[in-house]
Chain A
Amino acid sequence: MQKLMLGDEAIAQAAIDAGLSGVYSYPGTPSTEITEYIQASKQAKELRIHSDWAANEKTAMEAALGMAYAGKRSMSCMKHVGLNVAADNFMNAAVTGVNGGMVVVVADDPSMHSSQNEQDSRIYGKFALIPVLEPSNQQEAYDMTYVAFELSEKYKVPVMVRITTRVAHSRAGVTTKDVKPQNEMKLPSDPRQFVLLPAIARKQYKGLLNNQVHFNTESENSSFNQYFEGTDKKMGIIACGLGYNYLREILPEGECKFPVLKVTQYPMPQKQVKQIAAETESLLVIEEGYPMVEELIKGFLEKENVSGRLDGTLPRDGELNADIVGAALGYPTHSGESKVPDFIANRPPSMCPGCSHIDVYTALNEALEAYSPGRVFSDIGCYTLGALPPFNSINSCVDMGASVTMAKGAADAGLVPAVSVIGDSTFTHSGMTGLLDAVNENSPITVIISDNESTSMTGGQDSAALGRLEAICEGLGVDPAHIRVMNPIKKNHEELVAIMKEEFEFDGPSVIIPRRECIQKASRRRKMEAKAKMKS
């Protein structure tokens, strides 16, 4: 019997079935549901699979590598920009290799539905010289994750599974496989494998390089990469990951006269790429994300006639769909004339009624009235919506933790006061070290940690900061007299404005912590409590 699963859930179930011992992640759309599924799974609980959230993607992946060092199977899941945070570990884990199987799942977000950019993680996989699997549907998400652990243990190297929003957040029936037992703890046979001193790293790196030819052979022989013969040799189509689905929506298997190479396992299978290039006059590359494959095949000298996202046959940015792919293939799906009336207004996301961030921005706008505009640096979370009307409060949102350090740099440049607005979970993710910089230089910045005791934008996961913020700030060296905690309810509005004004005038780093539980989380908690009461 098939189970109806999100792509994210299929990955999670596959990892459990493949003998996972621990998943280590930080929430990030569209990857969050992978780890949440394992946290909610009865099977995972019985198997005692670790699934608590980590403070950030780097600490998560390092812990996953530690588990793989100890011989057990581990997985680390994140959104694409989370891999930037974990990149230091990611690149070096490819060189140390693993002992137990380790799979890194990265969920890209082309079209930036919930992200700051649309970087393509396949390029990270290539950068780290490791195999990458790119499922085109939910069943493949399951099958590939299951196989990824085998591949990882066969070559003792981390393996990446790359998905995008449409696979992650789309549901379909999935058939599962047998459950494998977890690995016993067993240390690496070479005690120096994980010691990347230059002399050892050079040896390890050569081993990784020597494996490249094997990774290619794996790709050439993989059932995930398929070659479909075609009678019309004018064009060959290379369709990667989700691009393959959109191709098949327009030209189903029996109806496509062109040769097709489906690529969902990387490195690119050399043999099949050469074959399709040799037997066709031109190539069309359909890939979700950057024109990575297209660029690779086309090369600098453009010896092959290749089209795709680079030459404008497909758009250079944004996610693909059947309409875009249909147009590129010469099979338009529609006339192009829109029937949507022009009075339809945009409905952007907004902060929930009763949200504490609203009170914080209302006070902040008032407290900053005396100063020139352009001095509020913010961060990644629900409070980023403070950029939109009616607040128009913030001047930056770049990466996790950047609010603190950008405020410091701007203050160094003479923008005083400079204000940082950051959430509690983002602060413990990547804001703490920046605050230490500000303390060490006595920088005149005010850090407002808008504390809703939750990681809310991704669905209300527990925050690593819960109950620790004052202690952390004090520990980092912020003067306790300038750590101001209060509840930002309407009644306290004047007080909050006054506190802000005071701290803006303070010549050194200060922290204001307006604290009130996320309204969504509070309502879920009350429902759960009511349910528990009913039961008892």
Chain B
Amino acid sequence: MKTDIILAGVGGQGILSIAATLGIAALENNWYLKQAETHGMSQRGGAVVSHLRISDKPIASDLVPLGKANVIISVEPMESLRYLDYLSETGYVVTNVKPFVNISDYPEEAKIMEYINNLPNVVAIDADKIANDLNARRSSNIVMLGAAAPFLNVELSVLESGLRQIFGSKGDDVVEMNLKALHAGYNFAMENK
């Protein structure tokens, strides 16, 4: 197995919680993993991206080559488009639809959504609403992870196990909430992909 993932968002949106779950899942299965993160200056409200590569064979480059990503997971709609050149011909864009507007020249939302909806392989999801409906407001990133799950070449149970490890110390309630969020995202993607 080999999966290349681009994780996109804005500094402070916590995209690394998605990466951490996948990271733990990879280690549990003795897969190789490389995860290049954005630290430092860009974290102050700038565009941030993480390259995540999982494989059962050793991985050379920390960065995903252009045109090789199986999936772009973006927690912000405009950011999902910034990295399109990394996506493979058959790859999926999984993006949250809620804009994060902290710049004056943010494009028209309708324009962004039109472009997103015209992509050949896309899941556009209101992860914040789904998380809110579950009373799991802080788990919107896990909803995103769930929505990307069908395209990761990873069994859902592997991600469940990753979540149990990450949130285990915070108690069963928190684990359950995140498992629910994961499944809600997954179901949405299966119905809308």
Residues of A with Cβ closer than 8 Å to B? 2, 4, 6, 29-30, 32-33, 113-114, 137, 166-167, 169-173, 242, 245-249, 252, 321-323, 326, 333-335, 338-341, 343-352, 382, 385, 389, 457-459
Contacts and interface: CB of A to CB of B under 8 A. Distances in A.
Contacts of A169: 36-39
A245 B32 contact: no
B150 to A, nearest CB: 22
B62 A245 contact: yes
B23 interface: yes
Contact of B85 (A137, A326, A334, A351): A334
Contacts of A245: 60-62
A172 B35 contact: yes
Nearest to A333: B65
A171 B33 contact: yes
Closest 7 pairs between A and B when the two form their complex, measured CB to CB: A29-B40, A114-B40, A349-B46, A248-B60, A249-B61, A349-B44, A334-B66
Contacts of B81: 340-341, 344
B41 A347 contact: no
A343 B107 contact: yes
A4 B31 CA distance: 11
A334 B85 CA distance: 9
Given A321-B65, A334-B67, A349-B46, A170 B85 contact: no
Nearest to B83: A340
Contacts of A172: 32-35, 59, 62
A333 B102 contact: no
A67 to B, nearest CB: 28
A246 B35 contact: no
B138 to A, nearest CB: 13
Given A4-B33, A347-B10, A385 B62 contact: no
Nearest to B108: A343
Contacts of B65: 249, 321-323, 326, 333-334
A246 B60 contact: yes
A172 B33 CA distance: 5
B27 A4 contact: yes
Nearest to A342: B107
Contact of A171 (B23, B42, B87): B23
Interface string B39-51: 1111111110001
B163 to A, nearest CB: 16
B4 to A, nearest CB: 11
26 contacts: A30-B39, A32-B39, A113-B40, A137-B62, A169-B37, A169-B39, A170-B35, A170-B36, A171-B33, A172-B32, A242-B62, A246-B61, A249-B65, A321-B65, A323-B65, A339-B85, A343-B112, A344-B78, A344-B81, A345-B107, A347-B78, A347-B79, A348-B46, A349-B42, A351-B45, A457-B40
B35 A339 contact: no
Given A4-B27, A341-B81, A349 B60 contact: no
A442 B61 CA distance: 55
B41 A113 contact: yes
B45 to A, nearest CB: 4
A2 B40 contact: no
Contacts of B43: 349
B63 A166 contact: yes
A347 B38 contact: no
A248 B32 CA distance: 15
A185 to B, nearest CB: 36
A347 B35 contact: no
Contact of A347 (B59, B84, B102): B102
Given A249-B65, A345-B103, 18 more contacts: A114-B39, A114-B42, A166-B63, A169-B37, A170-B51, A173-B33, A245-B62, A334-B65, A339-B84, A340-B82, A340-B83, A341-B115, A345-B78, A347-B46, A349-B11, A382-B44, A457-B41, A457-B44
Interface of B: 10-11, 23-24, 27, 32-47, 51, 59-63, 65-68, 78-79, 81-85, 87, 102-108, 111-112, 115
A321 B61 contact: yes
Contacts of A323: 65-66
A344 B59 CA distance: 31
B60 A252 contact: yes
Nearest to B107: A343
Nearest to A251: B60
Nearest to B105: A345
A339 B116 CA distance: 12
A100 to B, nearest CB: 31
A137 B85 CA distance: 25
Contacts of A340: 81-85
A171 B40 contact: no
Most buried by A among B41, B67, B85: B41
B40 A30 contact: yes
A346 B104 CA distance: 10
A249 to B, nearest CB: 4
Contacts of B24: 4
Contacts of B67: 333-335
Contacts of A321: 61, 63, 65
A333 B85 CA distance: 11
A403 to B, nearest CB: 18
A4 B23 contact: yes
A311 B133 CA distance: 59
Contacts of A345: 78, 103, 105-107
B97 to A, nearest CB: 16
Contact of B62 (A166, A326, A457): A166
Contacts of B34: 170-172
A482 B59 CA distance: 59
A338 B87 CA distance: 11
Contacts of A457: 40-41, 44
Contacts of A326: 65
Nearest to B34: A172
Nearest to B67: A334
B60 to A, nearest CB: 4
A102 B35 CA distance: 30
Contacts of A382: 44
A166 B82 contact: no
Contacts of A29: 39-41
